[in-house]
C-alpha cells in the first residue's frame, strides 16, 4: 500500500531512446518518482563482469551488426548476456535480429548452421554444447560461464582464435579474429575496478557502465547529426570557465529551447554566438569534468534538433502550396567523411583510433540502414507538415479564379488525402492547421456547382 505504479505502453510512433511523455498535472512528489524505461532493467555490470576489458570490442561488434553466438551454461545467463549486448547501443536502436535463447528445435536451425552461406546479422544465445561444432563457422563466438557477483572482479576472458573452438570443454573466451577500430578505455576499467575494491553497489557500477556506453554511442552519432545541421552556418563557441574549448557550426534553430542563463562558474558550459559578443549567453551548469560537460551540452542541444539531417532538407522557401514538396537530398558518405576533420567524434570522446574506418563499416550495416530510414521518414513527414502549413497560408480564393473545375476537384481530392495521411501517420502538425485545411476544403466545394457539391460532400 502507498505505492502508485503508472504504466505506459509504448506506441509505434515513439522514438527509440526517448523519455516517457511528461504528465502536465504531475505533482511535486517526495521522493521523486522513479522512471523505469523497461519492465526488466538489466544489471549491466553483472552481465559484462567477465568481459569488462573487452567491452569496447563488444560495443563495436553490436554497432556493426556482426553475427555473434553467445554460449552460456544456462538459458538465463544466455538471455541476459544477449539482451545486455543489444542494449549497449542505446539510444541507437539495434536493428538486427537477436535470439536470447536458441535451440536445435527452432525453425531457423538449418539456416543458421549451414556453411553454404554467410551467417545472418543476428545475436544468438545457446546452451547446448552441440552448437560448438555446428556454429563454429560463425565469425564471433562469446563463451561465458555462470554470472556471479563475487567480491573481486572475476577472471577476464581472453580473445582467442576461432581455430581453438573445437572441443566440447572449450574454455570461456571471445573467439574471433576481429581487430577493433578504437582503443580501449583504460580509465573506465580503472574506475570499475576501484568500485569493486570499495565495494560499490552493483547498481552504481551498472550506471557507470551504461553512462560510458551511452556517451560512446552519442559521440559516434553526433557527427551524423551535425553533418546534417550545418545548413545555417551560424558559428557558435563552446567554452569551460571562460576558456574556449571548441568551435562548431550550427543553425540558429539549434538554439530552440536553450536552458536558462545561469552564472558561469568554472565548471559550467557557456554557449554564445561567436560573431555577436553582445548576445545573451546560454549556460548549462554542471559539476562534472569538461569532457562529460561537452557531451551533456551536445546531448541537450541535439535533443531539440527535431531533424538532425537538416542540410538534406529543402529550404522552406522552396515549399510552395500548389506543387508537390521538393525531394530530400541523398545522404553522401564522402561529404560526411570530409566533415569529420572539423566535426568528428574527437570533439566529444577521448578515445583514439580509426574512427573513419568504423564509420565506413557502419554504413554497410543494418543498424545504419535502420537509423537512416527512420530519420528519412521523419524528414518526409516534416516536409508534409510544412506543405500543409504553406497551403493554409495561401489565398485559395485567388488561386481558384482562373482554374477549371477539373483542377479544383483534383485539389479537393489531394487535400483530403493529405488530411487523412496527417491524422493516420501522426504528422507533426497542429490541430489548428488541420482544421484550417478542412475549412479550405469546404470553401472550395462551396464554390462549385451543386451537382459537383453533391458528389464531393461526404455521405
Does a structural domain hold residue 237?
yes
pLDDT for 62? 96
Q: Which residues make Cβ contacts (< 8 Å) with residue 427, sequence separation at least 6?
A: 381, 384, 385, 388, 421
Residue 157 CA to residue 155 CA, distance in Å, equals 6
pLDDT for 95? 93
Distance of CA 330 to CAs 12, 335, 386, 387, 449, Å?
A: 26, 11, 20, 20, 45
Q: Tell me if the bond preceding 432 is cis, omega within 30° of 0.
A: no
Count of structural domains, the chain:
2
Domain of 269, in residue numbers: 231-304
Q: What value does the mean pLDDT take over residues 66-86?
A: 94
Confidence tier at 242 by pLDDT (50, 70, 90): very low
Confidence tier at 259 by pLDDT (50, 70, 90): very low
Q: 283 and 154 in one domain? A: no
Q: How many CB atoms lie within 10 A of CB 233?
A: 9
Q: Which residues make Cβ contacts (< 8 Å) with residue 49, sequence separation at least 6?
A: 147, 148, 149, 153, 154
pLDDT for 89? 92
Does a structural domain hold residue 84?
yes
Q: 57 and 177 in one domain? A: yes
Does a structural domain hold residue 325?
no
Q: What value does the mean pLDDT take over residues 205-231?
A: 77
Q: What value does the mean pLDDT take over residues 24-53?
A: 70
pLDDT for 68? 96
pLDDT at residue 308 is higher than 70:
no
Among 304, 336, 354, the domain boundary falls at 304
pLDDT for 14? 59
Q: 181 and 67 in one domain? A: yes
Among 189, 212, 239, the domain boundary falls at 189
Does a structural domain hold residue 127?
yes
Question: Measured in whole angstroms, how far is the alpha carbon of residue 182 from the centre of its chain?
Answer: 20
Among 245, 280, 304, the domain boundary falls at 304
Confidence tier at 49 by pLDDT (50, 70, 90): confident
Most confident of 175-179, 196-200, 442-446: 175-179
- Bigger pLDDT: 448 vs 6: 448
Does a structural domain hold residue 11?
no
Q: What value does the mean pLDDT take over residues 5-28?
A: 56
Q: What value does the mean pLDDT take over residues 220-246?
A: 47
- Bigger pLDDT: 304 vs 134: 134
pLDDT at residue 267 is higher than 60:
no
Residue 229 CA to residue 459 CA, distance in Å, equals 47
Confidence tier at 458 by pLDDT (50, 70, 90): low
Q: 66 and 126 in one domain? A: yes
First to last CA, the chain: 53
pLDDT for 54? 92
> Whole-prediction pTM value?
0.73
Confidence tier at 126 by pLDDT (50, 70, 90): very high
pLDDT for 209? 92
pLDDT for 138? 94
Q: 112 and 164 in one domain? A: yes
Mean pLDDT of the chain: 75
Amino acid at each position: 500500500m502507498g505505492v502508485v505504479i503508472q504504466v505506459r505502453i509504448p506506441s509505434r510512433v515513439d522514438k527509440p531512446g526517448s523519455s516517457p511523455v511528461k504528465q502536465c498535472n504531475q505533482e511535486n512528489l517526495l521522493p521523486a518518482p522513479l522512471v523505469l524505461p523497461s519492465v526488466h532493467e538489466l544489471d549491466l555490470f553483472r552481465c559484462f563482469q567477465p568481459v569488462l576489458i573487452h567491452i569496447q570490442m563488444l560495443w563495436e561488434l553490436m554497432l556493426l551488426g556482426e553475427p555473434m553466438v553467445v554460449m552460456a551454461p544456462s538459458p538465463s545467463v544466455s538471455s541476459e548476456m544477449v539482451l545486455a549486448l543489444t542494449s549497449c547501443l542505446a539510444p541507437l536502436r539495434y536493428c538486427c535480429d537477436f535470439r536470447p535463447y536458441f535451440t536445435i528445435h527452432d525453425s531457423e536451425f538449418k539456416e543458421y548452421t549451414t556453411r553454404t552461406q554467410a551467417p545472418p546479422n543476428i545475436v544468438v544465445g545457446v546452451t547446448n554444447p552441440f552448437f560448438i561444432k555446428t556454429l563454429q563457422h560463425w565469425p564471433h563466438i562469446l563463451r561465458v560461464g555462470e554470472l556471479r557477483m563475487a567480491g573481486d572482479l572475476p577472471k577476464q576472458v581472453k580473445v582467442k582464435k576461432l581455430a581453438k573452438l573445437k572441443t566440447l570443454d572449450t574454455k570461456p573466451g571471445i573467439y574471433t579474429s576481429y581487430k577493433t577500430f578504437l582503443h580501449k578505455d583504460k580509465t573506465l576499467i580503472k574506475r570499475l575496478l576501484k568500485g569493486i575494491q570499495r565495494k560499490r553497489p552493483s547498481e552504481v557500477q551498472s550506471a557507470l557502465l551504461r553512462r560510458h556506453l551511452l556517451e560512446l554511442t552519442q559521440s559516434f552519432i553526433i557527427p551524423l547529426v551535425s553533418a546534417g545541421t550545418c545548413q545555417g552556418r551560424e558559428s557558435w563557441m563552446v567554452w569551460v570557465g571562460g576558456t574556449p574549448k571548441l568551435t562548431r557550426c550550427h543553425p540558429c534553430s539549434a538554439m530552440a529551447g536553450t536552458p536558462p542563463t545561469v552564472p558561469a562558474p568554472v565548471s559550467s558550459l557557456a554557449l554564445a554566438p561567436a560573431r555577436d559578443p553582445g548576445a545573451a549567453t546560454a549556460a548549462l551548469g554542471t559539476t562534472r569534468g569538461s569532457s562529460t560537460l561537452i557531451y551533456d551540452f551536445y546531448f541537450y542541444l541535439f535533443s531539440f534538433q527535431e531533424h538532425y539531417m537538416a542540410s538534406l532538407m529543402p529550404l522552406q522557401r522552396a515549399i510552395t502550396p500548389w506543387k508537390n514538396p521538393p525531394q530530400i537530398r541523398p545522404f553522401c558518405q564522402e561529404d560526411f567523411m570530409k566533415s569529420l576533420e572539423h566535426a568528428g567524434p574527437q570533439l566529444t570522446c577521448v578515445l583514439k583510433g580509426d574512427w573513419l574506418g568504423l564509420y565506413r563499416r557502419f554504413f554497410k550495416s543494418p543498424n545504419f540502414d535502420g537509423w537512416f530510414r527512420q530519420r528519412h521518414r521523419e524528414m518526409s513527414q516534416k516536409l508534409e507538415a510544412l506543405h500543409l502549413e504553406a497551403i493554409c497560408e495561401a489565398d485559395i480564393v485567388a488561386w481558384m479564379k482562373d482554374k477549371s473545375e477539373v483542377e479544383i476537384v483534383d485539389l479537393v481530392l489531394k487535400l483530403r488525402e493529405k488530411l487523412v495521411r496527417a491524422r493516420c501517420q501522426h504528422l507533426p502538425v497542429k490541430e489548428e492547421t488541420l482544421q484550417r485545411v478542412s475549412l479550405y476544403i469546404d470553401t472550395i466545394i462551396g464554390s462549385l456547382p451543386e451537382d459537383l457539391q453533391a458528389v464531393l460532400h461526404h455521405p
